[in-house]
Amino acid sequence: MNKKLVDFFQLDTAPGIILIASAFLALIIANSPLAHFYLALLDTPIHFKVGSLDIEKNLLLWINDGLMAIFFLLIGLEVKRELIQGALRTRSRAMFPVVAAIGGMVVPILFFAVFNYDDSKAMQGWAIPAATDIAFTLGVLALFGKQSPVSLKVFLLALAVIDDLGAVIIIALFFSSDLSVIALSIAVLASATLFYMNAKGVARLTGYLLVGAVLWVAVLKSGVHATVAGVILGFAIPLRIKHHRVRSPLRYLEHGIHPWSSYLILPAFAFANSGVPLDNFSLGLLLEPLPLGITLGLLLGKPIGISLACFISIRMGIASLPKGLHFAHIMAASILCGIGFTMSIFITTLAFPGTDNHALVDLSRIAIFIGSFLASVLGYLALKQTFERIPRHSSEAEQT
């Protein structure tokens, strides 16, 4: 492989660059003479049949329900690791990013509701601005290299992981269709089997993955969104093995999935869900309540919610600033969290299902693009100014 290509894939910013390139490629193709082929590709039927099990979906749904379940498996693994060994392992460590994540979800939802409260159809998208794209957010932060304090990356990672967990809970509770009692019972049984295997010290990943596949099918058929199965499986994978200090099934699986998630799953999702036709688009549409609620929810709701929640928690003694950080770091970084992109698009597909909602989906995706782009630019500029004003060595020296 070409050395320059190898060097590129080793960059911390590479996943974010590939992600945005995939989205822009889809946007260009969807507004070119190739649009018909793009739509035909996404509508390609893929049929899976084993005995009485019969699953038939088009390529778009296989990406959204299948590949994204693997991405949510990675989220489950990351959350569990952070809870046991990472930034969330103690109450004092966990409270600051937890409070920040809650504020960063609640306030954007309020922003959205202010503009759309009188439109029941649009209000189905209330959770869209509550999401944060972890790959993009950390990718922009990585542009600063050693200028950025390590504790800021840890804080942002923990916040984004909690935010993703919140998104999973929202999906499970609010975006489930008519429930099948039989399929749901099988899903509960499969989940119980996974955690029983964990309790008994089963270390072989093959067993977990086989039961996880059964869980995915059961959740898919139950009416709950299939990606929830990925998180449950992630929580069931053991971090440690008794009498074995080195090997960690969780870390092994996490490291195995991570490159596939960064370089295939998320780019494929971005490509499949970003092809918005712009032939009927006008700037005036952005002033409609739905896109305005999404854009301002991401651009203003996120930083206001995170900064306000952190400020109140510090004042009340609930949490304290991470070592090496000033509040200016938190305020600047909170703007980056307005990059909703893939997670916001994913929630959009759940909030407005069916062909009759295409106009709402397209309008939402345009608003997500604009809000996320502005958040990335303004967040970068805010962090740049903060790092120039408070150099890393001086901020860390003040905290020692």
Tokens of 387: 């790092």
Residue 153 above 90 pLDDT?
Answer: no
Is 104 inside a domain boundary?
yes
Is 216 inside a domain boundary?
no
Question: For 161-219, what is each residue's pLDDT tens digit?
Answer: 788 788 878 887 887 767 788 988 999 999 999 999 999 888 889 999 999 999 999 99
Residue 395 above 90 pLDDT?
Answer: no
Residue 284's pLDDT is 82
Residue 50 above 90 pLDDT?
Answer: no
Give CA–CA dist 239/77, Å, rounded: 9
Task: Work out the percent of the chain whose per-residue pLDDT is above 70.
Answer: 95
Is 186 inside a domain boundary?
no
Is 9 inside a domain boundary?
no
Tokens of 11: 């960059």
Residue 262's pLDDT is 86
Residue 3 above 80 pLDDT?
Answer: no
Domain limits for position 394: 14-175+225-399
More confidently predicted of 245 and 143: 143
Tokens of 77: 């693994």
Residue 68 above 50 pLDDT?
Answer: yes
Is 335 inside a domain boundary?
yes
337 within 8 A of 132, measured Cβ to Cβ: yes
Amino acid at 30: A
Residue 372 above 50 pLDDT?
Answer: yes
What residues does 241 pair with on adjacent strands? 244
Give CA–CA dist 95/313, Å, rounded: 9
Is 89 inside a domain boundary?
yes
Residue 294's pLDDT is 96
Is 375 inside a domain boundary?
yes
Q: How much is the mean pLDDT over the chain?
A: 87
Residue 140's pLDDT is 85
Question: For 348-358, what is each residue's pLDDT tens digit?
Answer: 988 898 767 88
Residue 226's pLDDT is 83
Q: State the pLDDT confidence band at 396, using cuts at 50, 70 and 90.
A: low
Residue 41's pLDDT is 94
Is 3 inside a domain boundary?
no
Question: For 70-105, what is each residue's pLDDT tens digit?
Answer: 988 998 898 888 888 876 777 777 889 999 999 999
Provide mean pLDDT across the span 296-317: 95
Nearest residue to 216 via CA among 342, 346, 65:
65
Nearest residue to 208 via CA among 183, 233, 175:
233
Q: State the pLDDT confidence band at 123, using cuts at 50, 70 and 90.
A: very high
* 3-state secondary structure string across the chain: CCHHHHHHHCCCCHHHHHHHHHHHHHHHHHCCCCHHHHHHHHCCEEEEEECCEEEEEEHHHHHHHHHHHHHHHHHHHHHHHHHHCCCCCCHHHHHHHHHHHHHHHHHHHHHHHHHHCCCCCHHHHCCHHHCCCHHHHHHHHHCCHHHCCHHHHHHHHHHHHHHHHHHHHHHHHHCCCCCCHHHHHHHHHHHHHHHHHHHCCCCCHHHHHHHHHHHHHHHHHHCCCCHHHHHHHHHHCCCCECCECCCCHHHHHHHHHHHHHHHHHHHHHHHHHCCCCCCCCCHHHHHCHHHHHHHHHHHHHHHHHHHHHHHHHHHCCCCCCCCCCCHHHHHHHHHHCCCCHHHHHHHHHHHCCCHHHHHHHHHHHHHHHHHHHHHHHHHHHHHHHHHHHCCHHHHHHHHC
Give CA–CA dist 230/236, Å, rounded: 10
Q: State the pLDDT confidence band at 275, using cuts at 50, 70 and 90.
A: confident
Tokens of 92: 């004092």
Q: Which of 3-7, 230-234, 244-248 is modeled with the greatest confidence? A: 230-234
More confidently predicted of 45 and 322: 45
Residue 192: how many other CB atoms lie within 10 Å:
12
Provide mean pLDDT across the span 118-142: 88
Domains identified in the chain, total number: 1
More confidently predicted of 12 and 201: 201
Q: State the pLDDT confidence band at 400, using cuts at 50, 70 and 90.
A: very low
Tokens of 296: 């301002």
Return the CATH number at 390: 1.20.1530.10
